[in-house]
Structure formats: C-alpha cells, structure tokens
Homo-oligomer: A and B are copies of this chain.
Amino acid sequence: MKSFVIIGHKAVSAPFSLNDLPGAGRMDILCRCVNAALFLSHDLRRDVRVYLVLKGGAQPKLVRFDGSSLRYLSPDERSAASLIKKALEKNAQGFWTESTPGVSIRKGDLSNLLEELNKKITYLREDGMDIRGKKFEEPLFLLGDHEGLTDEEEKIIRGYEHEIVSVGPLSLHADHCIVLLHNEMDRAEKHI
C-alpha cells in the first residue's frame, strides 16, 4: 500500500461549484493529485490510497480515495471534484463513511489523520534528500498544496518518525511530484 496525504489549506469542506474548482480553495490542485496518484494509462493503481485534508472550512474534513475499491473516477479534474463534492454532501462523522465506492469522508484535521495512520512519514520539501535510487516500503507521502506546509504542520509531523525527500532541482506542483515518486517506485519494483 502506498499512501499520499495532500493538505489543502484553503480547500472548502462544504459542497462547491464544479465550474470553479480554483474558487473552491484551489480544489483543482487536490483533484490533480488524485489523478496523479491513482491513474495508469487505461488502469488504476489499486495499491494506492489518497487522503485529502480540507482545511478551508470551519470544520476541517478528510476525504479518502482507496484505489482497491474505487469506482466512477475518470482522469479529468471535474470527475475527481464530483466525487469529492458527493463526499462533502454526506453528514460527516468522526469516523469514515463511504460516499461512493472507494471514496470516504470523516471530520478531522491532519493531526487526526496522522494519529490514525500512525506510521513513518515521508515529507516532500525542496531541501530534502534526492529520491533517486531510494527504496520506499509501504510509504506514507505527505505533500502541501501551493502554500507548502505551515510551521504548525511541520511540528505535527515531527511527532512521528519521518524523512524529508526531494524530487528534483526545481520547485514543482504537488501532482507532478506524485508522478515522479510513482516512477521511482515503479522502477524499483521492476528493477530498472
């Protein structure tokens, strides 16, 4: 299992218009991360879970995409957004509730999620160690949106075993980083 946590600092936690994803607290960023984490050409990565942290509302919420049981996801941003919106229409509780096959929602913030997952965190930052040649076993990757991570979030992460990695010499969008992480793992698994 490969897990990706993406923090949406402004991402709304109530239903939003599918015609303006940037206006929903840069929901477009999270949708592209869902695509990058889950899609192969004509197939889904079944061994992936994506956790979105929606921090842009009065009540932070968590949305989970589970590749092993996911249905109705197409590669376009609007498709991921539509599943997130359906999840947000649920009356979220303090535990996971499935909204559509493979998509679940709960109330909670980053600290609740990391407490639940309770494992080593691989955190992306430009000054991290290069991922080339690294091996990742059952990794939990954590990425920020366009705002990076706050000091408070970094403090939460430091409460767990963690490492900091970098995907290359330039600062990239979170979804592009996910593509590069997958490629490194794909190569390691196929020994090329």
Contacts and interface: CB of A to CB of B under 8 A. Distances in A.
Interface residues of A, dominant DSSP:
mixed
Nearest to A190: B169
A28 B183 contact: no
B172 A76 contact: no
A76 B28 contact: yes
Nearest to A22: B76
Interface string A32-67: 100110011111000000000000000000000000
**Copies of this chain assembled into the complex:** 2
A187 interface: yes
Interface residues of A, number: 38
A169 B146 contact: no
Contacts of A190: 169
Contact of A41 (B171, B187, B189): B171
A76 B35 CA distance: 13
A18 B172 CA distance: 26
Interface string A173-192: 10010011001001101101
A37 to B, nearest CB: 11
A170 B43 CA distance: 11
Interface of A: 18-19, 21-22, 28-29, 32, 35-36, 39-43, 74-79, 130, 146, 167-173, 176, 179-180, 183, 186-187, 189-190, 192
